[in-house]
């Protein structure tokens, strides 16, 4: 039976735009893999087929406006969730009981960074103890200051078995801007394997991405490095890009503000590495709402 693509676009837009107040302790609609209602409209489940990609983000202090834009981008996921210290809508879970103000610690490289591993690990623990990994193939954590475009993810992940314990990187380790974890990370070695002898083990465990990288390997899983012979397809990370190798990128990264400028999208990087795919999944960091909206406008 043919169904117009316009129908699916409408359903995705409605699923993201709902802001109904709900009981912040009732997550049954989500844990059972159902689609939530939007006002009086009841959305049907996504057929009998298991939804493939589940996306999530943490809303911390003063990140609400950016998180709202991130969740708009999550229309390309099969479902999503926001973790925070309050709950005001159906796609939000009150997971934290404090003010979510993080301590700054001195990293091994001598710079001061926020230690967010405990906060991120708590979200991973929630997911591990829920039915979400049973209902989705891939669980994707997005930072609140990441411009997120999930459209290319199904193609990138198509050749990998979600029942294996896998996570991915286009760098030398998992990047916190976009953490893609398979169902197997949560299920293959048991729901607690991610946390068994992995927290506060290494100096760099203050970085949640370094912790996840170590934890997946420690449990017996694999961190898949996407081929360096291809254009960057997963994460364009201002903190990790080797700018001398990509001078056309350097001029579009504002090091003072720590954010990419939307003009980067107008560059032609060619097709030979180092290059950037036009459907790159994540651009990080994008620090302000106006810049994020301009990225949205340019990539419609």
Residue 3 pLDDT level (bands cut at 50, 70, 90): very low
What is the average pLDDT across 145-156? 95
Q: Kindly report, residue by residue over 21-66, the tens digit of the pLDDT.
A: 334 443 333 333 333 332 332 333 444 454 499 999 999 999 999 9
Task: Give residue 22's pLDDT.
Answer: 36
| CATH code of 242's domain | 3.90.550
The answer to whether residue 222 is domain-embedded is yes
**Beta bridge partner(s), residue 80:** 55
Domain assignment present for 46: no
Mean pLDDT of the region 247-265: 87
3-state percent breakdown (helix, strand, coil) of the chain, nearest 5:
35, 20, 50
Whether 42 is in a domain gets the answer no
Q: State the residue range of the domain holding 128.
A: 1-37+51-300
pLDDT value of position 32: 34
Say if residue 11's pLDDT is above 50: no
Rounded mean pLDDT, 115-142: 96
Contacts of residue 153, Cβ cutoff 8 Å, sequence gap at least 6: 53, 76, 138, 140, 180, 281
Q: Are the CB atoms for 39 and 20 separated by under 8 Å?
A: yes
Give percent of the chain with pLDDT exceeding 70: 80
Taking CA atoms, 154 is separated from 54, 78, 190, in Å, by: 12, 11, 25
DSSP-derived 3-state class of residue 148: strand
State the Cα–Cα distance between residues 262 and 256, nearest whole angstrom.
16
216 lies in a domain?
Answer: yes
pLDDT band at 115 (very low <50, low <70, confident <90, very high): confident
Q: Is residue 44 part of a domain?
A: no
Output the pLDDT for position 255.
80
Kindly report, residue by residue over 168-204, the tens digit of the pLDDT.
Answer: 998 889 999 999 999 999 999 998 999 999 998 887 7
Q: Both tokens of residue 104?
A: 């700054």
pLDDT greater than 90 at residue 290: yes
The token duo for 261 is 């400028």
- Does residue 271 surpass a pLDDT of 90? no
Q: Is residue 290 part of a domain?
A: yes
Q: How far is CA 178 from its chain centroid? A: 4
Other beta carbons less than 10 A from residue 5's beta carbon? 8
What pLDDT was estimated at residue 109? 64
Q: How many domains does the chain have?
A: 1
Whether 43 is covered by a domain: the verdict is no
């Amino acid at each position: 039976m043919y169904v117009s693509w316009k129908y699916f676009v409408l359903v995705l837009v409605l699923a993201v735009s709902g802001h109904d107040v709900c009981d912040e302790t009732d997550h049954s609609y989500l844990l059972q893999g159902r689609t939530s209602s939007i006002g009086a409209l009841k959305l049907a489940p996504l057929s009998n087929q298991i939804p493939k990609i589940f996306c999530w983000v943490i809303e911390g202090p003063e990140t609400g406006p950016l998180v709202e834009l991130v969740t708009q981008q999550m229309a390309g996921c099969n479902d999503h969730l926001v973790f925070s210290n309050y709950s005001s809508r159906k796609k939000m879970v009150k997971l934290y009981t404090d003010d979510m103000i993080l301590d700054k610690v001195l990293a091994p490289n001598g710079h001061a960074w926020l230690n967010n591993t405990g906060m991120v690990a708590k979200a991973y623990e929630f997911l591990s103890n829920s039915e979400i990994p049973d209902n989705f193939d891939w669980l994707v954590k997005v930072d609140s200051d990441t411009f997120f475009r999930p459209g290319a993810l199904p193609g990138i992940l198509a050749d990998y078995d979600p029942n294996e314990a896998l996570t991915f990187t286009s760098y030398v380790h998992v990047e916190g801007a976009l953490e893609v974890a398979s169902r197997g990370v949560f299920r293959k070695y048991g729901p607690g394997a991610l946390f068994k002898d992995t927290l506060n083990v290494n100096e760099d465990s203050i970085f949640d991405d370094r912790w996840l990288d170590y934890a997946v390997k420690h449990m017996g899983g694999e961190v898949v490095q996407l081929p360096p012979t291809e254009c960057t397809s997963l994460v364009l990370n201002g903190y990790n890009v080797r700018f001398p190798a990509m001078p056309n990128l350097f001029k579009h990264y504002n090091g003072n503000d720590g954010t990419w400028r939307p003009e980067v999208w107008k560059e032609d990087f060619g097709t030979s590495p180092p290059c950037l795919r036009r459907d790159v999944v994540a651009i990080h960091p994008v620090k302000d709402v106006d810049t994020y909206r301009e990225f949205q406008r340019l990539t419609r």
